[in-house]
Amino acid sequence: MSPSSPAVTSLEQLQELCSGCHRCGLASSRTQVVVARGNPQAKLMLIGEGPGQQEDESGKPFVGRAGQLLDRILESVGLSSERDAYICNVVKCRPPENRKPTAAEMAACRPWLDAQIQLIDPALIVVSGATAVEAVLGIKGGITKLRGQWQERDGRQVLPVFHPSYLLRNPSRAEGSPKWHTWKDMQDVRRRLEQEGWQP
């Protein structure tokens, strides 16, 4: 957490602080702040880019088309997005027209993501798409090369994967396709969860 950020000691406090947050310009166009969904006790955290329209309206991350695909991918390897994962985004407010959040917006929102990682204390983190990979791992570009390669950060295992929005635009399930790779990646996540003591 950056020195200027408030110490956050509970998820309730986090929700409250985020609801009143005006650290960047995205606050002025949001309907709702989108903090998280899923299970705070989960060993797996999944981090996306930022809320879209449905998320902005509902206050929950990954509930639109991309989120529904994400749920199906998790289900295909026996994981439930509500029971087995804590799901959030790099930025908590919707960028207008779903543009990529700016570096300044990501930096402004960073204390909230850091607080989530501290409070949830996940063993595994899946970073979904190039923006989340950049924000969490500090590695720019090349998601095609990075996906599927586990990294370690602060004692946690972090796996870059394709973003479900990208998979919606590339629906083939053929061997070697983005969807096929993502399914393999999520099977790997399940194996690592089992090593961490996760049970179906």
Residue 40 CB, shortest distance to ligand URA, in Å, is 17
Distance (Å, whole) CA 41 – CA 38: 9
Tokens of 88: 């959030």
Task: Give the footprint of ligand URA on this chain (CB under 6 A).
Answer: 48-52, 55, 61-62, 64, 66-67, 89, 129-130, 143, 162-163, 165-166
Residue 51 CB, shortest distance to ligand URA, in Å, is 5
Phi-psi region of 98 (alpha: psi -120 to 50; beta: other; left: phi over 0): left
Distance (Å, whole) CA 119 – CA 32: 22
Which CB atom, from 108 or from 143, has the smaller least distance to ligand URA? 143
Residue 172 CB, shortest distance to ligand URA, in Å, is 14
Q: Which residues contact residue 43 at a Cβ distance below 8 angstroms, ignoring those fewer than 6 apart?
A: 122, 123, 124, 193, 196, 197, 198
Which CB atom, from 133 or from 193, has the smaller least distance to ligand URA? 133
Q: Which residue in the shown chain puts its C-beta closest to ligand URA?
A: 48
Residue 197 CB, shortest distance to ligand URA, in Å, is 28
Give the residue among 151, 129, 161 at the shortest CA–CA distance from 50.
129
Which CB atom, from 135 or from 198, has the smaller least distance to ligand URA? 135
